[in-house]
Structure 1
Amino acid sequence: MEQVEMRAAVRETYGPADLSSVPVFAGGFINFGSWRSIDLAGPLTVDDRIRSQQDLYRRVLDAAGPLTGRRIAEVGCGLGVGCALALREYGPERVTGMDIHPEQLERARRTNAELLAASPQGLRFVQGAAEDMPLGDGEFDCVYSVEAAQHFDDMAAFTREAARVLRPGGRLVVASFFTPGTDPENGARLASALETFADGLDIARPVTLVTDALTRAGLTDARAVSIGPDVWPGWDRWLSDQWAPGTWPRNFLTAYERRDLDYYLVTATRPGA
């Protein structure tokens, strides 16, 4: 397999900087959350925040279809707390968490040490890149990724690899943020408003590029559904207790309102039985 190099921003953010330790990502899930079941009118608690992140995972896993007894893999698993949720709540035979960053995998193994000991056949963590997965052909019934695809260097390579490791009839589900249109100035506007796009951590790409890549990879029924209304207002409301209006983290909601950015649930299926 080729060695896929991490960009400097990815290496720092998920290594020494340890984004999972930042209070806005309470619980270690490192996602913006799905807030549709949370009352945004009143004060938000840390429990609300953790639930929003868990609910985003549930939304992804629900979109994958029944997972009982299935083999599933998460691409960009981070601390592996989403893998643990999948194992506890969805009854798969095995969950494989894959991440490109060795420090994240060390944290994942520490965080889930008890679960790994109790279920050595049910949970494992492996190092690998989305574009070059160290996984077997047709090994999985479901491949999913939660808020990691905005970091992937090569979306076409990721979709080819996902198609390869899925069994016939297997399902791919990706939740992440992409641009809703193909305006060539979109990336520049996002970089001017959001540090994560300016420093190269996040990549601005049209959501149609993702669905087109899935189709070219041989997957069928590629669809992208906006879940922005359930993500951006809640994320901004959570940030409002810690970040003042006009600071760059609050610009995610602004970018959404300007139609420069949105959050999507992307699904596709490998054809066959």
Structure 2
Amino acid sequence: MTIDYDQIAGEYAQHRRAYPQLVEHLASLVPPGGTVAEIGCGTANHLRGIAALVECTAVGLDPHARMLEVAASAEAGDRATYVRGTAEDLSVLGIPAGGADLVFSVDMVHYLDDPGVYAAQAWERLRPGGWFCTATDSEWIIRNRLPMTAYFPGTIPLELARHHAIEALEEAYRAAGFTDPGTRVFGEEGTLADATRFRDKANSVMHLLPEDEWRSGLERLEADLARGPVPSNNRTCLLTVRKPL
């Protein structure tokens, strides 16, 4: 099944939020007056957050026009520019070769058949010493996501099938020339009191579930929520590499 992100851009913007500590960490990698690009930015929550923390040239790239429209119309949306395109050709960013301090993506790399192509493109845009960062789901995160796995266990094999292993991404990035790989998990744990995000299928994998599985899981979740909040978490694994000086 192909997900039409132009069609779900409104729901996506309503339910998706930036990881605050991830925004702070990424912003710390951008020098004042530097240049940062978010690839597959969607509604650009993280890019706009970075631009609010550090004075920089910020460019967001996404293949979906409606996502970019929502990004540009959001508060602080005018602190960045937005370009329609794909990770396989970063020349459309308008950033000269060697001109970027940070190229990053959040929940995007699993859509790429060959992350190595993307890594080579990022290498071309980055200055020596620049950072290439990928926030994605590790196997551990996928298997321990709540309340998703408790009510929609069919999402586990779907997510494992479409996500690249962290080790495979490291290998592809090393092959492109990047060094100093490191990983760090960002996110939070808490409780969920409302099923709206699951009713609206705010997580893209929900659109891949068979309709009967989605409805069954939603009914069980709503029944439990009627008795009180349920455990919840929201995590991402950041893989960071660097272009050598």
What residue is the counterpart of 1:269 in the other structure? 242
Matches of 1:171 and 1:225, distance apart in 2: 15
Question: Residue type matched to 1:221 in 2?
Answer: D
What residue is the counterpart of 1:103 in the other structure? 66
Equivalent residue runs for 1:46-125 within 5 Å: 53-62=19-28, 65-92=29-56, 94-111=57-74, 116=78, 123-125=80-82
Question: SS in structure 1 opposite 2:162?
Answer: coil
Could you report, residue by residue, the CA deviation over 1:124-166 in whole angstroms, capped at 9, with x for unpaired residues?
Answer: 1111111222233212011122222233332111111111111
Q: Does 1:130 align with 2:90?
A: no
What residue is the counterpart of 2:7 in the other structure? 16
Q: Give the direction of change, closer, same or farther, for the CA distance of 1:101–1:72 in structure 2 (3 Å limit).
A: same
Matches of 1:165 and 1:204, distance apart in 2: 25
Shift in Å at residue 202 of structure 1?
A: 7.7
Say what the alpha-carbon RMSD is for the aligned residues: 3.6
Question: Residue type matched to 1:217 in 2?
Answer: A
Q: Is the 8 A contact 2:37 2:104 kept in 1?
A: yes
Question: Residue type matched to 2:217 in 1?
Answer: T
Structure 2 gap segments, 5+ residues each: 141-148, 200-215, 222-230
Question: Residue type matched to 1:54 in 2?
Answer: P
Q: Is the 8 A contact 2:135 2:236 kept in 1?
A: yes
What residue is the counterpart of 2:125 in the other structure? 165
What residue is the counterpart of 1:45 in the other structure? none
Question: Residue type matched to 1:81 in 2?
Answer: N
Matches of 2:22 and 2:52, distance apart in 1: 16
Aligned residue pairs total 204
Could you report, residue by residue, the CA deviation over 1:217-241 in whole angstroms, capped at 9, with x for unpaired residues?
Answer: 00111222344xx44x34xx23x53
Q: Give the direction of change, closer, same or farther, for the CA distance of 1:74–1:22 in structure 2 (3 Å limit).
A: closer
Q: Is the 8 A contact 2:30 2:102 kept in 1?
A: no
Shift in Å at residue 110 of structure 1?
A: 2.5
Compute the TM-score of the two structures, normalised by the length of structure 1: 0.62
Compute the TM-score of the two structures, normalised by the length of structure 2: 0.69
Q: Does 1:241 align with 2:194?
A: yes
Question: Residue type matched to 2:52 in 1?
Answer: R
Q: Is the 8 A contact 2:27 2:53 kept in 1?
A: no
What residue is the counterpart of 1:50 in the other structure? none
Question: SS in structure 2 opposite 1:8?
Answer: coil
Shift in Å at residue 111 of structure 1?
A: 2.5
Q: Give the direction of change, closer, same or farther, for the CA distance of 1:85–1:150 in structure 2 (3 Å limit).
A: same
Q: Is the 8 A contact 1:60 1:146 kept in 2?
A: no
Shift in Å at residue 270 of structure 1?
A: 0.6
Shift in Å at residue 201 of structure 1?
A: 11
Q: Give the direction of change, closer, same or farther, for the CA distance of 1:102–1:162 in structure 2 (3 Å limit).
A: same
Matches of 1:201 and 1:103, distance apart in 2: 28
Could you report, residue by residue, the CA deviation over 1:153-207 in whole angstroms, capped at 9, with x for unpaired residues?
Answer: 3211111111111111111122111325xxxxxxxx9xx8344864x89822211
